[in-house]
Amino acid sequence: MKPSLTTSKVMDVFIKAAEYTEIPVRKTDDESLKKLFTSVKSELSLDPKKMKQDEAKFWKQDPAVIKAELLIQKQLTRESAVLSPSLQSDFRRVLEFAPRLLEDLMKMAVIPHNEQGHGWLSLALGVIELSQCIVHAVPLSARKSTSEDTAPLIAGSCNV
C-alpha cells in the first residue's frame, strides 16, 4: 500500500484480501460471472481505448479475485442480475467480510508511518469512501469529485 492511493486503487487492494482469494471458484459459476461482468463492465477500471486488452488482462487475474470484484461491483451498482444459489452464498460471504477488511485497511492507514506519528490521510479517506459506497450501494463512479481530489464525505457525497 502507498500513502496516496485513490479510492479505485483502495478497491484493488481490498479485493485481493486473503479472505476473498479463498472463496471457491466453481466451473458452474462461469456463465453467471460472464453475465455479471457484462452488466458491471462500465464500473471496472477498463480503458475504453484499450478495451479488448484490458478485458483480457482482467480475465487473466486470479479467478477468486475476479469473482470478488464482480460481486462487490454487483453491490455497488445494485445490479439486479439473478445469481445462482452458489454465487448468492458467495455474494453474502463477500459482504460479510467487507466491514472487517475495511476496518483493517483503515488501521493500516492511520498507524504512524513517520517520525511525527502521522498516518496516511489520503489512504484513510479512500477507505472511508469505499466503505460508504459499499454500505450505500453506490458505484465509485457516482462519487462527486472535488478540485483537491479529496473525498467529499458523509452527506452529499454521491450523485444518485
- Residue 108's identity, in one-letter code, is M
Query: Contact, 15 vs 21, CB < 8 A?
Result: no
Give tens-digit pLDDT for 42-96. Answer: 888 888 889 899 999 999 999 999 999 999 999 999 876 678 888 999 999 999 9
41, 47, 109, 118 from 143: Cα distances, Å = 17, 19, 21, 27
pLDDT for residue 74: 93
**Which domains, from first to last, does the chain contain?**
7-142 (1.10.3380.10)
In 48-158, alpha helices (H): 51-59, 63-77, 85-110, 121-136
Q: What count of residues does the chain have?
A: 160
